[in-house]
Amino acid sequence: MFKIAPSILSADFTRLEQEIKKVEVEGVGYIHVDVMDGHFVPNITIGAPVVKSIKKKTKLPLDVHIMVEDPEKMADQFIEAGSDVLTFHVEATRHPERLLNYIRSKGVKAGISLNPATDLSSIKYLLGSFDLVLVMTVNPGFGGQKLIMPALEKVKELKKIKKDKGLDFIIEVDGGVTEDNIDLYTKAGAELVVAGNAVFGAKDPVQAIKNLLSKGAI
Ligand code: DX5
Ligand code: ZN
């Protein structure tokens, strides 16, 4: 069964604690935190001090997605802030394997993310070095965008690779999830589904999570 990772990008940043408390319900695996640097993506969000504050306020593990250039320069501050999973982009560094190993050496789950146009071959030789792969199904930078359908092909391929090789990484998807299309993601093989607008943009986030869980069930 898959889990939901509500993305606080679509939450009310002036009331973060209450927003996070709302989604501490059955079926939620992580709180997804989007960090953007204004270089790797054309938007700026939050940094390590905010992650540190959130960590103190929730029992849910934090899935920290850093959309930043040169992630190796920032990994320590996000590890120290309390990331349970720290995911960076394969496009953002020359030495992804080094950074994955470093993150793991600090006792944190290491995640690797791919933009919609990035081929799976970019992580082929990293298999075994990551605990989670985050397939972007929109171009990173903003919430509330539309699913880029071809990116789901990568999810299907990852599911197959995982099974054939007997590996045990988490397959996560991020971007464009709605109640109407979540089944496409889960049928493809998504195990952890990020939902920003679909949860925090809804009148009743708890009901929205229930709907996503029931509509994505396969
Ligand atoms: C986009 C972020 C996503 C975003 C998803 O760059 O990585 O996590 O919050 O938002 P929705 O679910 O609204 O597409
Ligand atoms: Zn994200």
Q: What is the pLDDT of residues 103-140, one digit of tens each?
A: 999 999 999 999 999 999 999 999 999 999 999 999 99
Q: Is the pLDDT of residue 218 over 90?
A: no
Print burial letters for 195-204: b (CB count within 10 Å at least 16), e (below 16): bbbbbbebee
Instruction: Evaluate: CB of 196 within 6 angstroms of ligand 1.
Output: yes
- The H-assigned helical ranges of 148-204 are 152-165, 182-188, 197-200
Interval between CA 194 and ligand 1 midpoint (Å): 7
Q: Model pTM?
A: 0.98
Q: What is the pLDDT of residues 8-62, one digit of tens each?
A: 999 999 999 999 999 999 999 999 999 999 999 999 999 999 999 999 999 999 9
Q: Within a 10 A sphere around the Cβ of 119, how many other Cβ atoms?
A: 9
Amino acid letter, residue 83:
S
Instruction: Evaluate: CB of 34 within 6 angstroms of ligand 1.
Output: yes
How far apart (Å, rounded) are the C-alpha atoms in residues 63 and 191? 14
Percent of residues, the chain, with pLDDT higher than 70: 100
CB-CB contact of 95 with 75 (8 Å): no
Burial class (CB in 10 A: 0-12, 13-18, 19+), 140: buried
How far apart (Å, rounded) are the C-alpha atoms in residues 99 and 116? 22
The residue nearest atom 2 of ligand 1, judged by CA position, is 140
Long-range contacts from 66-70, C-beta under 8 angstroms, 24+ separation: 66/35, 67/34, 67/35, 67/36, 67/37, 67/40, 67/41, 67/92, 67/113, 67/140, 67/141, 68/35, 68/36, 68/37, 68/39, 68/40, 68/92, 69/37, 69/39, 69/40
Task: Quote the pLDDT of residue 6.
Answer: 99
Mutation test residue for ligand 1: of 9, 10, 88, 113, the one with most atoms within 8 Å of CB: 9
How far apart (Å, rounded) are the C-alpha atoms in residues 204 and 218? 24
Task: Quote the pLDDT of residue 94.
Answer: 97
Which ligand has its closest atom nearest to the C-alpha of 4? Answer: 1
| Placement of tokens 């146009």 in the chain | 117
